[in-house]
Structure formats: C-alpha cells, structure tokens
Chain A
Amino acid sequence: MTYRIDQADVAHIAKLARLSLSDDEIDSYQNSLSRILEVIDVMNSEDLSGFAPMDHPLETVNLLREDLVVPGLDRAEVLEAAPSAEDNYFRVPRILGSS
C-alpha cells in the first residue's frame, strides 16, 4: 500500500521530538501517522465554505489575570528536585558539540 508519509519524514519528526525509534517502530508510526493524515484528508474534502475559521475550540476570549505578584516556589526545594544544580543554577550538559 502507499503511505501518506515516508519513512524519512517519520525519522525526522522523531528526531525533533527527541525520540529514538527502532526500524519496526518507524514502520508502525508510518502506518498510524498515514492513517491520521487520511482522516484529515476526509475532513478537508468537506465543504466548509459557510464556516468562519476557528482560532480556538472554545468561544472564550480575553482570559486575563491582573498583574499582581504571587509567591512562587522555594529555590532550594526546586533545585533539590533537579537532575543537577550548581551555585543556585540548574546545571545542564554541554549544549553544542558532543557531550
């Protein structure tokens, strides 16, 4: 059968999502993502010209809060829960190049 998405796209999306997929998993996601795209094709085939595009599923707008300070979290507690911390900062492995 022909898929709506090729394996290279699946691998690319997985990489962007920081997922490591086996070849079997790539096959499986190619199949399920293609089915999702087919469903979207069905939706796209409907004539929706009489409907305004939605910018949000709810009709609520302007859900705003007042600009007032509320207490946050205790630093010591938060850093205690972090994988790594140093000098009151979060610590992360090197960002560029190989770690």
Chain B
Amino acid sequence: MSSRTIAGPARGWEYVIGLEVHTELRTATKLFCGCPNAFGEEPNTSICPVCLGLPGSLPVMNAQAVDFAIRVGLALNATIQRSQFHRKNYFYPDMPKDFQISQYDVPINANGHLELPSGAVIGIERAHLEEDTGKLVHRGGGGRIESAEYSLIDYNRSGVPLLEIVSAPDIRDPEEAKEYVAELRSILVAVGASDGRMEEGSLRVDANVSVRPVGETQMRTRVEIKNLNSLRSLTRALEFEGRRQVQLYEDGEAMLQQTRFWDEARAVTGALRLKEEANDYRYFPEPDLPPVAPDPLVIEARRSELPEFLSTRRAQLADVLPELSRDLRETVITDECWPYLRAALDANITPHRAVARCANELVALLDEIGALSPSRFVEVLALEDEGKLGASQVKVLLREACLDPLAIPELVAKLGFTASDADAVKAMVAEVVASCTQEWSRYLAGDEKVAGFLLGQVMRRYGRQISGSDARQALTRLAEEARAESS
C-alpha cells in the first residue's frame, strides 16, 4: 500500500539500499565498565583499565544496556534470543584492545521489521550489542586522515554501548532511507534507548547501496558508505552514489565492492584507502563474557511496558479518517499533539474537526500550553460541535484556556461569548440587517460588495461578543434562508 512514487537514480534504474544504524544507548555507564557514558566531556576523563584495554582487565556487561536492547527488539518486532559475544579483531588506534567486542552469528535481536509512514515494511535482519570506539583527531594535512602527520585519541567514547540495527536491503530510494531512519529514531527515543541526537553522533548511519535495472531481481555489487551523520547527508550521499554507479555501468566500467566516505563539502563519495587488506576480522568467541539469555518473564514485562508507537496511532487514525492527508496525519500523531486528539476522538468529537483543531490551533499553542489540558481542549471542541461557538471564537477560547485556568464555561462568560451560539449570532445579524433594508435587498439581489457594509454594522454593535467570520457565516445563512423563502 505504498503511497509514494519511488525515485530511481536514473531512468530505468532502481536503488537497493540496506542501512546499518549505530545508536548509542542512553545508559549511565559504558557497556563493560563503570566509566560514565557522557558526551562532550574533557578528553580522556572517562577512562579506566577496561575501556583502555589494559592487560588483565575484564569486561562485565551492563544490565541496563541489555534492557534497552530488549525494548528496541520488541519495538522492532524482533525475536529476542540467547546471544553470545565475539571479538572482532582489527588493528586501529581507536580500539586500544585491538579488537571490538561485538555480536557475530547469534545477536540478541533477530528478524524484525519496521513499518514506515508510507506503509512500506522494511525488514530488520538484526540488532546487536557492541562497544563504541574512541574518537580520533587528525593533526596536520588539513585534519584529514590520509594526509595527517599524526593523530590524537580521546577514549571517552571507547566502550560506550551501541546497538547496531541492520536492515534488510529492502529500501528502494534515498527518501525512503530517510523515512526509515526518522521512524527508527522516533522508536529509539520512545523506548528511552536513545536521545536521538544525530548531530552529537548518538545515531550514526552506514549505507549499503547498489543499483540495478528496474525488473532485475538479483543484487549487484554494493558499496558501503560510512558515517552518514544527518538525514541530509544520508539522502545526498545515496543520490550521488546511485548516479555514480549507474554512470559506471553505462560506461561499461567495473563496479568494485568497496567502502566509501561521504565528503559533505564537495558533495561526493570517495574511496577509503586503508592500509588493511580486505576485511579479515578473525571473529572468535569472547571468553570473558558469558552468554546473555534474557528471561522470558522479563521480556514479557518489557513488552507490556512498551509505549504507544506512531504506527499504532496511524492505524487508529486510518480507522476513523481513512482519507486523511499524510501531512495532517503526521502533524497530529506527535507525542505533543496525540493526547489531545485521542481525548477528542474518545469524546466523539467530529473527527475532522478534532484533527483540524489539533493541526492548526493546538500546534500553534504547544509552546504556551499552560492550563490547556486534553479534557479542557475537548470541552471547547464540544461547544463548537454543538454549535454553541463559532470557529473564530474557539480559537480565542483555546488561547485563553492556555493562559487562564478558569473552568471553560466561566472562560466563555468572561470572554463575553455567552449569547453566541450559532442561532444567537444569526439573531444579532438579523436584527442589524433589519435596520438596513436597502443594503439588505441589494445583498439579496447578489451584490456581494455590500456584505462588507452590513458586517461592519453588525460588528459595530456586537463586535465584543461575536467574531467577524461567525457574523459572515450567519449573514450568508440568513441570505440563503431569505432567498429560499422568496422563491
């Protein structure tokens, strides 16, 4: 039921994209030691023998990191299983042990899926626990690794818990990749596992991308683009890489399986020239960590504590308002808006009205929401539904209900809206036009220009109590009735 047109890298070509999202888990301490998991501290202030890889130090798994992994696994509809840790061996100074403790063939979460706002379902192959690496700063040669004279290392990030979430190659264009990351991010934040701050590196994306002629079912040689740290970089890098690969095929050149990086300033991907040969990580089981086997009772308890996700809200809205536009829907299902809309729908407020008041008035008031609780919001909308208040009065009343905690009926009285249900407004307008017989006849005869004069008269007398738009509505209705009677 995908509601979007997929955009290929060139006419007749399509993308095949899989994403690896590394998310830093929001624990108090690192994955295997009690050093603080903090961002932006002075370099090398959160370090100990374990995260410095000093001889004789031993890792001990952080219970909270396991708990977050379980919550994310549940949210991604994955199987949560007994899992094991491996050493991924490589020689690089960001990892002082010369290996990274990760999960290899038996990750804690496997075989999940994520439904996107478009309705597309993206498979999740795995979501596994591993430790983050230290941060490098390159000195000399313009700060680039390939031309630097030497490098500096901050090990504060070394050992910070990561959950690496690996999608199936189900993503078909850069826009969908962006949608996937945004949706995943909202889930990670909702379960409390991540702060979702891409700009601080809390969420880092590697993209595996290949292209193929539309209709071809096999996958072609893929390229991995590393460290895409914003949604904008992600889409731009994928677009560039898609065009580059199509060009290579069309020119009859060889496609190499390689790792590339995204150069934001030049807006190109470039090959990483590492000294290491092809990946030879020599994974072997980590003898210092016993398996993690989540208790089924704990898993069920965590399942019952899962928050409500956007996909659930979309489904609920689709039941009441199947034709709702995507923009409106995405505006009203946010955590800020949704409690108000849900309360309104539960109170049987006309769904269209509830959505419109949430998307327009409520969203504009969110910063000053103060005393406007969902139940007060519903009270106001009910008055509109019953015809007791006009649209523009509702706007004024909603703003007032934020600022002033008085009960809604008292606020209505305070604003002078007492005699202002639709019939009352009509009575006021009728009274005024009765005294302007000449203009009224011209208006009935179709002279729209005279409406301004008539409304001016109405507002002069009743402007404190009724709004211009309600008066206009009443005027239109009166005229319709008068014409119906005379015909």
- Which A residues are closer than 8 A to B by beta carbons? 12, 16, 18, 55-58, 60-70, 72-73, 75, 78-79, 86-97
**Which of A12, A64, A78 is most buried by chain B, counting CB atoms within 10 A of its CB?**
A64
Known contacts A61-B82, A72-B47: does B150 contact A56 (CB below 8 Å)? no
- Which B residues are closer than 8 A to A by beta carbons? 27-29, 33-36, 42-49, 52, 60-66, 82, 84, 89, 91-93, 106, 136-138, 145-146, 148-155, 273-275, 280, 282, 285, 287, 289-295
Contact of B92 among A12, A94, A95 (CB under 8 A): A95
Q: Chain B: which residue is nearest A79 at the CB level?
A: B44
- Interface contact A16-B151, CB-CB below 8 Å: no
Chain A interface main SS type: loop
- Interface contact B153-A88, CB-CB below 8 Å: no
Min CB gap B92→A, angstroms: 7
Q: How many A-B residue pairs have CB under 8 A?
A: 132
Q: How far is the CA of A1 from the CA of B244 in the complex (A)?
A: 52
Q: How far is the CA of A87 from the CA of B152 in the complex (A)?
A: 9
Q: How far is the CA of A31 from the CA of B209 in the complex (A)?
A: 44
- Interface contact A95-B48, CB-CB below 8 Å: no
Q: Which residues of A contact B33 (CB under 8 A)?
A: 70, 72
Q: Chain A: which residue is nearest B281 at the CB level?
A: A16
- Interface contact A67-B285, CB-CB below 8 Å: no
Q: Which residues of B contact A87 (CB under 8 A)?
A: 43, 152
- Interface contact B43-A72, CB-CB below 8 Å: no
Q: Which residues of B contact A92 (CB under 8 A)?
A: 93, 150-153
Nearest 6 A/B pairs, CB to CB: A70-B34, A89-B152, A67-B64, A72-B48, A64-B63, A90-B153
- Interface contact A63-B289, CB-CB below 8 Å: yes
**Which of B33, B291, B293 is most buried by chain A, counting CB atoms within 10 A of its CB?**
B291
Q: How far is the CA of A90 from the CA of B46 in the complex (A)?
A: 14
Known contacts A64-B60, A96-B274: does B43 contact A89 (CB below 8 Å)? yes
Contact of A73 among B52, B82, B150, B152 (CB under 8 A): B52
Contact of A93 among B42, B62, B150, B274 (CB under 8 A): B150
Q: How far is the CA of A69 from the CA of B273 in the complex (A)?
A: 39
Known contacts A61-B293, A62-B292: does B153 contact A56 (CB below 8 Å)? no
Q: Which residues of B contact A93 (CB under 8 A)?
A: 150-151
